[in-house]
């Protein structure tokens, strides 16, 4: 009974919490711009990683963007496209394909990343 009561309490608490949740599935929307940056420090290793992205919504389901990822050994630049749809407030689906190039090697092709959300 204690486990069931705890699960119900956590579920009710989760319904009432308002938090910023990453919005991966759907695109940003027509004529809207989304930007994000992240910095990670690794103590003891004298290392820092940085990731920055910006995307522009062409339609409600399609957006294009660019990103930059750097650390002490690498620097990559990517161009990407996102296709996605928000079915309702809680469910959205999408995919993203990103072509990445190595900035330290004359913009040489590095890899292609793909994600399904």
pLDDT digits over 9-36, tens only? 777 766 665 554 455 667 778 898 988 8
Q: What is the model's pTM?
A: 0.66
CA distances (Å), origin 14, targets 4, 10, 112? 15, 6, 36
Closest by alpha carbon to 23, among 96, 114, 108, 97?
Answer: 96
Residue matched to tokens 């809680």: 90
């Amino acid at each position: 009974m204690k486990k069931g009561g705890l699960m119900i309490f956590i579920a009710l608490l989760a319904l009432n919490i308002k938090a910023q949740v990453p919005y991966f599935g759907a695109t940003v929307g027509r004529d809207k711009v989304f930007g994000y940056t992240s910095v990670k420090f690794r103590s003891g290793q004298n290392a820092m990683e940085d990731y920055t992205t910006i995307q522009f919504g062409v339609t409600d389901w399609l957006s294009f963007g660019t990103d930059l990822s750097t650390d002490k050994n690498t620097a990559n630049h990517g161009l990407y496209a996102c296709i996605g749809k928000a079915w309702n407030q809680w469910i959205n689906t999408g995919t993203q394909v990103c072509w990445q190039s190595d900035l330290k090697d004359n913009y040489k092709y590095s890899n292609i990343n793909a994600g399904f959300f």
